[in-house]
Amino acid sequence: MRLKHSLNRLDDLIPGKMLFILFWILILLSYVCLNIGFKPELRDNAWSHYWAYDFFKNGIVEDRFIGNGLANLSLTGVTPAFFYGSIMNLIGWQLPRALLISTFLIIAALGLWYRILKDKNWSFKSIALFITIGLLLDAYFEPSHTTKTDAFTFFMLSISFFSFTKKRYLLAGFLALVCVESHPIGITVFFYMLGHFLGNREKILAESKIKPFVYFGIGLIIGLCYYFLLHYKALFQSTYSLDYTLNNNKEMFYFFSYILKYFFPGGLNKHIPEFLILFAGLGLGIICKYYKKDSSLYWILGLVFFSSLINPRPVHTYVIMAFPALLMVLVDTATRLRFQKLVLLYFFLLLLPQFAYLGIKSRSWPNHRQYVQNIQSQLPNDTSLPLLGSSNEWFASLGSFDYHHFTWLDFSPSSKPDKFYFILEDDGRKSGLPDRWESQYSFSLINEFENYGEEFDIFLAEKR
């Protein structure tokens, strides 16, 4: 009681409305100013673009960008590839526009969580705290500023779980399978559903003991049919090699919680302060026995954490799937102990310097469209040879060259080209190129230019 009284007194000293206004100004500035500037040379942006482009334009599901077999559309990912491809084909295949799609998906998903929490009789202040914090945490902000499938999968998880809480069990079952088809981490949605069911089982079963299971099962069957129609070739014609994927990426497959990987990737990390307050919220909730007030929150968190332990590829960006579970417990505890403004202030002081730094850093990044056009004007006229380079060069070669990321050559494709063009810039130089290929290829410099202060060299590579 003494702790609660102290927290209340501190919370009363904070001007809540002003703090919310300042937080939302920070949110708007961050989303407007950091569209391309958040991670302008992220390889996965071009990689995901390539899948969508190759599938939508050519019907190709294999990965021709890197070729390590780690990720392609053979077994998952067709739904987001078609979604992004359909929109990009209308508005143009430009990275800033694709990033806006991801941003919209994250905002739409949080809109669904607004409805989910409203149905749990949360107050507007509590829901506003949940959404306001979420929009600037890396767990949400990074997927909203990349073109990876994380944003789409999180949206599918949110709409599927929303349907489940609304007792639209058939739709929930179908959408859950679409979520899994979008990315294997989408399986997390089943743990949300199970946690919700266990926390509300008496109420759900009092209405009907059979109907939820029957309708949900029918939805799953429809979802399985949808999955089969998209991937029957890979399932029965061996167009996808699991052995090849595992052999080429052994170091990436191991069992460790992606939640812990996000907070503790090794060494000091900016996410540790997030962990401290989330852990404190969980600890106070358990001490105060708030799990008796709404046990579904704790069932969901426990099951989602368990699901993170059995994932064989702990990528830190997957934490977006678990963060609603973490935030719900923190906000519920803060609401019941009445220190919501303290939580908001904590995150504001934590995130303000981070985004101020990102804003200053992003000012040095050039206009992406002009940057790409400058590269495009320097490309060779001969488009018959493959072109290898870094991420952003793919956007310059779009629709003309058979383009591959420079790592493609290291994964020993079935037939290495006798000749190819290679664009060397800072990313390639850091990887020791072209020196590490000189035993296999000779390189002739055919062009060099500068683009916004960055030096580019274009080589013709010929097999020795």
Distance of CA 182 to the CA centre of its chain: 12
Domain of residue 437, residue span: 368-463
393 shares a domain with 342: no
In this prediction, residue 69 has a pLDDT band, given cuts at 50, 70 and 90, of low
The letter for the amino acid at 160 is S
pLDDT of 239 reads 46
Flag the least confident range among 29-38, 287-296, 418-427: 29-38
Q: Above 60 in pLDDT, residue 216? A: yes
**Average pLDDT along the chain:** 88
In this prediction, residue 413 has a pLDDT band, given cuts at 50, 70 and 90, of low
Instruction: Please give the structure tokens belonging to residue 410.
Output: 């290291």
Instruction: Report the distance separating Cα 301 and Cα 298, nearest Å.
Output: 5
Instruction: Report the distance separating Cα 34 and Cα 29, nearest Å.
Output: 8
- With a pLDDT cut of 90, the percent of the chain lying above it is 57
Nearest to 48 by CA among 110, 99, 108, 103: 99
Give 87-91's long-range contacts (Cβ < 8 A, gap of 24+). Answer: 88/49, 88/52, 88/53, 88/56, 89/56
Q: Which of 301, 329, 362 is the last residue of a domain?
A: 362
Mean pLDDT of 123-140: 95
pLDDT of 244 reads 47
Compute the CA torsion angle 139, 143, 146, 152 (nearest 10 deg). Answer: 170
67 shares a domain with 110: yes
Mean pLDDT of 183-208: 94
- Beta pairing, strands 441-451 & 403-405: unpaired
Mean pLDDT of 127-147: 94
Output the pTM of the full model.
0.92
430 shares a domain with 299: no
pLDDT of 37 reads 73
Contacts of residue 155, defined as CB under 8 A and 6 or more positions apart, other chains included, come to 105, 106, 108, 109, 112
pLDDT of 26 reads 94
235 shares a domain with 268: yes
Distance of CA 235 to the CA centre of its chain: 26
pLDDT of 396 reads 87
Q: What kind and span of H or E run contains 94?
A: none
Give 72-75's long-range contacts (Cβ < 8 A, gap of 24+). Answer: 72/240, 74/231, 74/234, 74/239, 74/240, 75/231, 75/234, 75/235, 75/240
Nearest to 219 by CA among 248, 278, 176: 176
Backbone φ/ψ region at 289: left (φ over 0), alpha (ψ -120 to 50), beta: left
389 shares a domain with 289: no
* pLDDT tens profile 337-390: 999 999 999 999 999 999 998 888 877 777 888 888 899 999 999 899 999 988
269 shares a domain with 381: no
Q: Above 80 in pLDDT, residue 450? A: yes
The verdict on whether omega for the bond into residue 324 sits within 30 degrees of 0, i.e. cis, is no
DSSP class of residue 366 equals: P
Q: Above 80 in pLDDT, residue 68? A: no
Q: Which of 362, 394, 421 is the last residue of a domain?
A: 362
Q: Are 114 and 162 in contact (CB under 8 A)?
A: no
435 shares a domain with 354: no
- Beta pairing, strands 419-424 & 387-389: parallel
pLDDT of 394 reads 86
Which of the listed ranges 56-70, 85-99, 168-182, 397-411 does the model predict with the highest average pLDDT? 168-182
Give 138-143's long-range contacts (Cβ < 8 A, gap of 24+). Answer: 138/262, 138/270, 138/271, 139/262, 139/319, 139/320, 139/323, 140/106, 140/110, 140/320, 140/323, 141/30, 141/38, 142/38, 142/39, 142/317, 143/102, 143/106, 143/317, 143/320
Instruction: Report the distance separating Cα 247 and Cα 238, nearest Å.
Output: 17
375 shares a domain with 339: no
Instruction: Please give the structure tokens belonging to residue 56.
Output: 């939508």
DSSP class of residue 234 equals: H
Mean pLDDT of 281-301: 95
Mean pLDDT of 79-96: 91
Contacts of residue 35, defined as CB under 8 A and 6 or more positions apart, other chains included, come to 96, 99, 100, 103, 145
* pLDDT tens profile 236-272: 765 445 554 545 545 454 557 889 889 987 655 789 9
Q: Are 369 and 96 in contact (CB under 8 A)?
A: yes
301 shares a domain with 261: yes
Nearest-10 crossing angle of helices 188-199, 150-165: 20
Mean pLDDT of 17-25: 93
pLDDT of 267 reads 58
236 shares a domain with 124: yes
Instruction: Report the distance separating Cα 197 and Cα 454, nearest Å.
Output: 55
Number of structural domains the chain divides into: 2
Q: Are 198 and 298 in contact (CB under 8 A)?
A: no
The letter for the amino acid at 113 is W
Q: Which of 302, 330, 362 is the last residue of a domain?
A: 362
Which of the listed ranges 13-22, 71-80, 129-138 does the model predict with the highest average pLDDT? 129-138
Which of the listed ranges 84-88, 160-164, 198-202 does the model predict with the highest average pLDDT? 160-164
Mean pLDDT of 428-437: 82
325 shares a domain with 304: yes
Flag the least confident range among 98-102, 357-361, 429-433: 429-433
pLDDT of 174 reads 98
Q: Are 70 and 103 in contact (CB under 8 A)?
A: no
Q: Above 80 in pLDDT, residue 217? A: yes
Q: Are 154 and 200 in contact (CB under 8 A)?
A: no
206 shares a domain with 161: yes
Instruction: Report the distance separating Cα 433 and Cα 443, nearest Å.
Output: 11
